């Protein structure tokens, strides 16, 4: 196998003040064993601005830190990535901001990643560039090295052309991406959206559905839905301490008949506000049985320096207060709201405890939470309510699919989910389980790398 150099915004480890610790998450878990086996390295930002550590090895992988100053971080990451690209690519749920002063650091920082990667690459290596922060890197790398294969994976949706076309730097972004040999996306819709934008703004030509020709080169388009380490979730969910903790949680939640759960990064794309309104609607129709339902929303702090995220946090906290004020009783609040990250075992105990998982993003590249819930419900009843606008809806067709903007429909779906008979819930969960077991993160990594190897 050929060596792989992963180029990502962040390194797979961060400094905790005393030592480097592996960052949690599916991408790291999937790629670590591959990189350990075939060699190569990981290029990314270390998480602290200012002086960068020298290249070092962690868990058998060579890490190449990229330097970012505080100013660059503000312009590139908090600025262009999170106020222009992130909202634009998520259907412009929040109005994207386009500032010329932020484009410059985006370009500069992409150039720096490309240079560090070019130095780390050996002839015939594969460079595998990750996500929306680094869309110019494929083109920049190609002009620095013509003896490597370049792959790019987009973790978030690629938007429809009507939305993408607003971007003042649309041509540069398309040309940057077209520097890759293989461009992979979460869904078919994203593949099609990109092909259309590449034809219009890059003057690329389509050859069938999964190939483009551009400036004499051939570029493959791939649909590769990201996934989870299913076996790991299944094992932890079945373990005695997690089962015990799940029972404890149910008790702490007042032994409600039905526990409904939401787990997200606190982000306006996740539809947490509409979800709370829908839960309020369910309680409204539940006169006479006040403690029947409990809703737990776990929200992980995210991008706390971006004003839109601060506003969102206040809005959600007000909504939680309103539902609890309207429907709570002394000593009993129907909504439990946790604003923090949980360790994996605790998170899994929540998944196990929940009768209904409510995943209602307004737009989401994939949504791994939905897959994690399914993996934790092998041989255990549970119902997944899933937004039509999550990438996962292309695969998880046996979930109860819903339009999250339609609050009445979410209320009705919650009613169906909380009253579903055991036989139907079991059949649906078995089907979902087959999908997440067959298409796990290792299969995803194999698919992506096979396409790159073949190039
Ligand atoms: P995210 O927007 O972060 O990812 P998601 O796919 O749901 O969304 O992944 C979140 C991860 O964080 C999950 O693995 C989950 O377990 C974990 N997590 C959530 N809440 C947590 C909590 N309170 N404590 C601890 N862990 C928690 C982006 C895209 C997605 C895409 C992924 C992967 O926005 O669409 O699926 O990348 O490509």
Q: Are 65 and 55 in contact (CB under 8 A)?
A: yes
Helix (H) / strand (E) containing 140: helix 137-144
Note the pLDDT tens digit of each residue in 249-298.
Answer: 999 999 999 999 999 999 999 999 999 999 999 999 887 787 899 999 99
Catalytic option among 125, 355, 364, 440: 364
Read off the pLDDT band of 226 (50, 70, 90).
very high
In this prediction, residues 303-312 reach a mean pLDDT of: 87
DSSP state of 392: G
Confidence (pLDDT) at 34: 84
Three-state secondary structure call for residue 384: strand
How far is the C-alpha of 23 from the C-alpha of 322, rounded, in Å?
36
Confidence (pLDDT) at 36: 86
In this prediction, residues 9-30 reach a mean pLDDT of: 85
Confidence (pLDDT) at 432: 98
The token pair that represents 444 in the structure block: 């995803």
DSSP helix, strand, coil percent of the chain (3-state; round to 5): 45, 20, 30
The CA 272 to ligand 1 mean position distance, Å, reads 14
The token pair that represents 359 in the structure block: 């995943």
Q: Which of 352, 356, 315, 355 is nearest to 337 (CA)?
A: 315
Closest-lying ligand 1 atom to the alpha carbon of residue 370: 7
Note the pLDDT tens digit of each residue in 131-190.
Answer: 999 999 999 999 999 999 999 999 999 999 999 999 999 999 999 999 999 999 999 999
Three-state secondary structure call for residue 426: helix
In this prediction, residues 66-71 reach a mean pLDDT of: 93
Note the pLDDT tens digit of each residue in 318-337.
Answer: 999 999 999 999 989 999 99
Ligand 1 interacting residues, C-beta cut-off 6 A: 155-156, 226, 263, 265, 298, 300, 341-342, 347, 364-369, 372
The token pair that represents 394 in the structure block: 């292309």
Read off the pLDDT band of 393 (50, 70, 90).
very high
C-alpha dist (Å) from residue 227 to 27, 30, 262, 322, 439: 9, 9, 19, 36, 7
The CA 264 to ligand 1 mean position distance, Å, reads 7
The CA 377 to ligand 1 mean position distance, Å, reads 18
C-alpha dist (Å) from residue 289 to 59, 260, 297, 329, 365: 53, 16, 21, 12, 38
How far is the C-alpha of 391 from the C-alpha of 361, rounded, in Å?
10
Range of lowest pLDDT (25-29, 51-55, 180-184, 314-318): 25-29
- The rounded mean pLDDT for the chain is 95
Read off the pLDDT band of 48 (50, 70, 90).
confident
Range of lowest pLDDT (34-48, 98-112, 208-222): 34-48
Catalytic option among 58, 155, 229, 232: 155
Q: Are 112 and 120 in contact (CB under 8 A)?
A: no
Confidence (pLDDT) at 16: 82
C-alpha dist (Å) from residue 452 to 129, 153, 204, 333, 376: 12, 11, 20, 52, 32
Note the pLDDT tens digit of each residue in 232-260.
Answer: 999 999 999 999 999 999 999 999 999 99
Q: Which of 308, 318, 298, 321 is nearest to 268 (CA)?
A: 308
The CA 242 to ligand 1 mean position distance, Å, reads 21
Read off the pLDDT band of 369 (50, 70, 90).
very high
In this prediction, residues 421-437 reach a mean pLDDT of: 97
Q: Which of 6, 299, 366, 448 to mutate to test the pocket of ligand 1 (most atoms within 8 A of CB)?
A: 366
Half-sphere exposure of 81 (CA within 13 A, CB side): 21
- Among residues of the chain, what percentage have pLDDT more than 70? 100
Q: Are 391 and 367 in contact (CB under 8 A)?
A: yes
Confidence (pLDDT) at 207: 97
């Amino acid at each position: 196998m050929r060596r792989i150099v992963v180029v990502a915004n962040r390194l797979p480890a961060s400094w905790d003040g005393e030592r480097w610790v592996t960052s949690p998450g599916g991408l790291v878990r999937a790629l670590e064993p591959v990189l350990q086996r075939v060699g190569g390295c990981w290029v990314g930002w270390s998480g602290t601005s200012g002086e960068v550590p020298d290249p070092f090895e962690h868990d058998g992988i060579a890490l190449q830190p990229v330097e970012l100053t505080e100013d660059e971080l503000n312009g590139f990451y908090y600025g262009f990535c999170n106020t222009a690209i992130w909202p634009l690519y998520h259907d412009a749920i929040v109005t994207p901001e386009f500032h010329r002063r932020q484009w410059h650091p985006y370009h500069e920082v992409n150039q720096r990643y490309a240079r560090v990667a070019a130095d780390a690459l050996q002839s015939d290596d594969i460079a595998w560039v990750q996500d929306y922060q680094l869309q110019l890197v494929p083109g920049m790398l190609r002009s620095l090295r013509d003896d490597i294969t370049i792959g790019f994976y987009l973790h978030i949706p690629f938007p429809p052309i009507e939305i993408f076309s607003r971007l003042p730097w649309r041509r540069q972004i398309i040309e940057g991406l077209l520097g890759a040999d293989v461009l992979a996306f979460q869904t078919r819709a994203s593949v099609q959206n990109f092909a259309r934008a590449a034809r219009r703004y890059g003057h690329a030509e389509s050859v069938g559905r999964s190939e483009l020709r551009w400036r004499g080169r051939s570029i493959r388009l791939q649909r590769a839905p990201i996934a989870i380490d299913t076996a790991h979730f299944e094992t932890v969910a079945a373990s005695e301490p997690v089962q015990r903790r799940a029972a404890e949680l149910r008790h702490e939640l007042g032994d409600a008949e039905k526990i409904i759960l939401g787990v997200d990064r606190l982000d306006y794309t996740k539809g947490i506000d509409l979800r709370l309104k829908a839960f309020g609607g369910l309680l409204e129709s539940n006169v006479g049985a006040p403690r029947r339902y409990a809703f737990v929303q776990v929200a992980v702090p995210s991008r706390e320096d971006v004003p839109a995220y601060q506003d969102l946090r206040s809005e959600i906290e007000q909504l939680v207060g309103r539902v609890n004020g309207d429907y709570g009783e002394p000593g009993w609040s129907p909504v439990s709201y946790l604003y923090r990250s949980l360790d994996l075992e605790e998170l899994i105990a929540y998944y196990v405890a929940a009768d209904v998982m409510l995943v209602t993003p307004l737009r989401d590249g994939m949504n791994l939470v939905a897959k994690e819930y399914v993996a934790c419900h092998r041989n255990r009843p549970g119902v997944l309510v899933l937004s039509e606008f999550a990438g996962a809806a292309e695969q998880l067709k046996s979930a109860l699919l819903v339009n999250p903007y339609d609050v009445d429909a979410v209320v009705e779906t919650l009613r169906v989910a909380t009253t579903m008979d055991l036989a139907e819930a079991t059949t649906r969960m078995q089907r979902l389980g087959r999908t997440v077991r067959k298409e796990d993160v290792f299969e995803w990594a194999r698919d992506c790398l096979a396409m790159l190897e073949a190039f």
